[in-house]
Amino acid sequence: MTNIHKEPNFFVIGAAKCGTTTLYDFLEHHPEVYMSPIKEPHHFSKDIVKEKFSDEYKHYLKTRNVNLEEYLQTDLSRKIWEWYIEDFNQYLKLFKNVRNEKAIGEISNGYLFSSVAAKEIKSQYPHAKIVMILRNPIERAYSHYLANVRDGRTTLNFKDELIADSKKSEKGWCISHCYTEMGLYYDQVKRFTDVFEKDQIKIYLNDDLKKNAEAVAKDLFTFLGVNTKVDIDYHKKQNEARLPKSAGFMKFITQTGLKRKIFRSMPKSIQDKVKPLFFKEGKIPKMSDEDKKWLQVQFREDINKTQNLIGRDLSSWLN
């Protein structure tokens, strides 16, 4: 390793659609924490390979128009949501602006899903702290589905979309959507508990975050060894679900990168005024009881195994 003070000492590893963006926001605003300017660099998920992605996702990445080497030569003030950095020296450059921060980290949701990331991180950073946040896998799948509806990636109803995804011949991260696979937590969590010591791992539930986000943030700050008395907005909502007025149009502007340019170039006050032009008003439809029961059957065994593994009562996920 190079200068240890300019390398990560903690990783938030997922799961996807469980609240990691909220944790990133808390951490990024803490003066004693340095977060990678690429929110999800995915360096240690060696089995997640861009060349294997679906054509849809390859096209989406292409619209991001990221020249990684050029970006790493800048002051890194421009934030990038995600990339897939294979070269370790390039990865280390994400942390070149570290000054005196105590906690240095990154968030890559692919690490929990990856079959190799746990051992890869352990090999490079054996003393790193690992943070994960889990959500009722039924709610997680529905949130994942709603995000794809919002972006125009599907017009199918929830159950039909999950069935169609499960029947795809090629499956994997950014290959298929993995609505149910991402919520089978037992094996994913166990890969990390098998190689890291218990006191190196902190596991939260999305239920905890909903109940008291400030308490979760302060517990996380304590775990990372930084000050808990900081001025942070603990009530900011992230990645809200919305239904598009036109799924075809939303898919077009998402796939071409126009959606990101339109919304991220505007201050939030303007975004709130513009969004009604693209999205329907009113509440998001809830999952049907029939679909919940259908998924409870699929997840029941894994939920029971997971609660024994992490020592948390997850019976409410099956109610």
* CA-only gyration radius of the chain, Å: 19
E-strand ranges in 199-291 read: 201-205
Q: Residue 272's pLDDT is what?
A: 62
Residue 173 falls within a domain, yes or no? no
pLDDT value for 235: 81
CATH number of the domain at 55, please: 3.40.50.300
Residue pair 134/208 in contact by the 8 Å Cβ criterion: no
Beta bridge partners of 133: 204
Closest CA to 174 of 165, 164, 183: 165
In this prediction, residue 233 carries a pLDDT of 86
DSSP class of 284: P
Where the chain has pLDDT below 70, the residues are: 1-5, 237-283
User: Would you state the pLDDT for residue 255?
Assistant: 61
Best CA proximity match to 201, nearest among 132, 251, 265: 132
**Does some domain include residue 100?**
yes
Return the pLDDT at 59: 85
- Of the candidates 233, 195, 139, the one whose C-alpha atom is nearest the C-alpha of residue 11 is 195
Residue 50 lies inside a defined structural domain of this protein: yes
pLDDT score for 2: 42
In a domain, 270, yes or no: no
Write 34-37 long-range contacts (CB < 8 A, 24+). 34/95, 34/97, 34/98, 34/99, 34/101, 34/103, 34/104, 34/105, 35/105, 35/106, 35/107, 36/8, 36/94, 36/95, 36/105, 36/106, 36/107, 37/76, 37/77, 37/78, 37/79, 37/80, 37/94, 37/97
- Domain membership of residue 23 (yes or no) is yes
Q: Is 29 helix (H, G, I), strand (E, B) or coil?
A: coil
| 176 assigned to some structural domain | no
| Residue 195 belongs to a domain | yes
The pLDDT of residue 1: 39
Output the pLDDT for position 281: 65
Question: Residue 61's pLDDT is what?
Answer: 86
Whole-prediction pTM value?
0.86
Looking at the structure of the chain, the number of domains it has is: 1
* DSSP state letter for 282: S
**Exposure of 45 in the CB half-sphere (CA atoms within 13 A):** 24
Q: Residue 18: give the domain boundaries.
A: 4-137+184-239
Predicted pLDDT at 285 = 81
What pLDDT is stored for residue 62 in this prediction?
84
* Domain annotation covers residue 217: yes
